[in-house]
A and B are shown apart, each in its own frame.
Chain A
C-alpha cells in the first residue's frame, strides 16, 4: 500500500544540516492501523507530511499502490491527496465561514463531482460520524469533538483508502478523545488503512502496529499484541 525506501529529508539552516528524516524505510500494508510515535522533533511530523504527499523528500523513493509518487509535481500530488488520502488534523482545520456540510463537500468539489452527488455523499459521511442533524452549523457553533467529527467526515467523504490522522485527540478533552478513537477503529474495521501520528503512548497502543521515531530515524517497529 505505502512503501518508503531510504527516505531522507534534509533541511539546511545556515551551515547546519538538520536531518529530519534519516534513511527511513517503511512499509505499510493495506488495512493496517499503524501509529507513529515519538517526541517533538523526532521527525514524525515530517514523516507524516511525506506519507500525506504534502512534501517531497530530499532523496529516497515513495510508492503508493506501487506507483512512485516521490517524483510527482505539485498538481499530481494534489490529485493523490484528493483521491487516496483523508486528513484529520489536531486543530481540525475546518473553514470557519462554511457550514459543516460545505466543509465536508470541499474535497468533492476539487474532485469535480456534481452538486447533488456532493450533497448526497457529504450527508452520508456526516451521518456516519453521527452529525447528520448538524449539517448547517458552522464550526464555531459546534464543540471540539463535533468539529473533529466534521473533519473526519470530510476525510471520509471521498472514500480514500488511507486516513492520515495527526494527533486527532490532541486538542480534545478525554471523553471526546475516546469517541474519536472509537470512530477511527470503526473506520479501520470498515477497511481503511489508518496512519495515526501521536506522542501519546496510550493512544498509540490502540493501533495494530507502532513505529517509534527518534532523531529522524525509526528506532522501533513492532506489532502490538491485541488483548
Chain B
C-alpha cells in the first residue's frame, strides 16, 4: 500500500468525523499557537533591546574616571598612544566631555547637554549626521574650530523651517557654525538623546573653562578580541591610576551577552510552558485515536481478512493521527502568526515569528502525532482478524 493512498484514506475518515477531528485538533492548534506567540514575542523584545544596545556602537568599551580618587589627568595623546601600541586589539578612541550648556539662536534660548569629542566618535558610538551635513573632522578637532553638530530636537527647535547647516548657534555665549544634524536616535523630544549638541573636545575644554576629559570610548578591533581589549585597558588604567576604584569600564559585548543569555532563558522557559499544552493536545489525539480504533474494529478485521498486512494498518492509523496533528499544526501556525502580530502591535513590540520558530512548532506537532498515534495504531495493527470481524 502506498502512502498517498493512506493519506487519502485518512483524510476521508477525518472528514467523516468533522466535529470530533476539529476538537482533537484544537489541543494542537492551541499548543502550536502558544509556542509561536511566546517565542516570537520574547524574540521581538530581545531584538529591540539588542538594537538599542547596538545603536550605541559595536565593540565599544568605555572607560570613565570616577570620583576624586585620582587627580591624574589622562590626555587624549596618551590614549591615542595606547591604541597605537595595541593595534591588534584596539582600533580607535574618542574622548567625551559631558556638560550642560545654554544655547541661543536669535531670541530662542534653551538648555541642552553638550558632548565634546573627536572624529572617531562617529564610528565608535555609531553616531552619524543626516545627509547634507558632515561630522566633525580631525582638522576641526586639531584647530579647535567652533563647529557644532546638533541633535534633531535642537534642529527642530532652532531652525524649524529651514536647514540649519551653515547657520549659527550660540553655545554658552560663543558663536558656533552648525555643520551637521545628528541622525534621529530616539524620540526627537526634549531630554532625549536627540536633545544635545556636539562639538570638538578641544573646543569644549576651552569653552568649559579647562574642563578635563573624564571618559573615553574605545573600539575593539573586532568582537573576537574584545575580551583581550578589555584586559589591556584594565591593566593600563590600573597602572596609570594606581587604583582599581578610580575608573569604571563598561563593555558592550558583556552587556549584549547578558541580555542574550537572559532572553534565551526566557525563550526556553516560556516556550517550554507553551510546549506543555502541545503535549496535552497530543494526549487528546491518543485518546481519540484509541476510541477510533475500537469503533473501527470491524473495519480493521475486514481489511486484515482481505490481505492488509500489519504495517498497512499501522501506517493507516499513524498517518491519520499525523494528518490530524499536522493540520492542527498548520492552523496553529497561521493563528500563531496572526496572534503574534496582533498582540505585538497591542503591546508595541515589533515581533514577527521566524521561519525557524514556525518550523519548530510545526515539526513538534507532527512529532506529537507520531508519538501519541503510535500506541493506538500499533494496537489496531495487532488486532486478531477473527475477533475483529466478530466485533459488533
Contacts and interface: CB of A to CB of B under 8 A. Distances in A.
A81 interface: yes
Contacts of B305: 52, 54, 81, 87, 93
B389 interface: yes
Nearest to A166: B389
Contacts of A52: 305
A94 B299 CA distance: 8
Q: A interface, by DSSP: helix, strand, loop or mixed?
A: helix
B306 A82 contact: yes
A74 B309 CA distance: 8
A52 B298 CA distance: 17
Given A81-B307, A95-B302, A110 B386 contact: no
A81 B307 CA distance: 5
B386 A83 contact: no
B309 A79 contact: yes
A75 B309 contact: yes
Contacts of B298: 93
A55 B386 contact: yes
B307 A110 contact: yes
Contacts of B303: 106, 110
B196 interface: no
Contact of A75 (B13, B299, B311): B311
Interface string A71-107: 0001100110111000101000111010000000011
Contacts of A87: 305-306
A192 to B, nearest CB: 16
B262 interface: no
Contacts of A109: 1, 5
A52 B301 CA distance: 13
Given A49-B386, A95-B299, A97-B12, A110 B1 contact: yes
A107 B386 contact: no
B310 interface: yes
Contacts of A107: 306-307
A106 B5 CA distance: 11
A145 B299 CA distance: 21
A111 B307 contact: yes
B357 interface: no
Interface of B: 1-2, 5, 12-13, 16, 298-299, 301-312, 385-386, 389
Interface of A: 49, 52, 54-55, 74-75, 78-79, 81-83, 87, 89, 93-95, 97, 106-107, 109-112, 154, 158
8 contacts: A78-B307, A82-B307, A87-B305, A93-B301, A107-B307, A109-B1, A112-B1, A158-B307
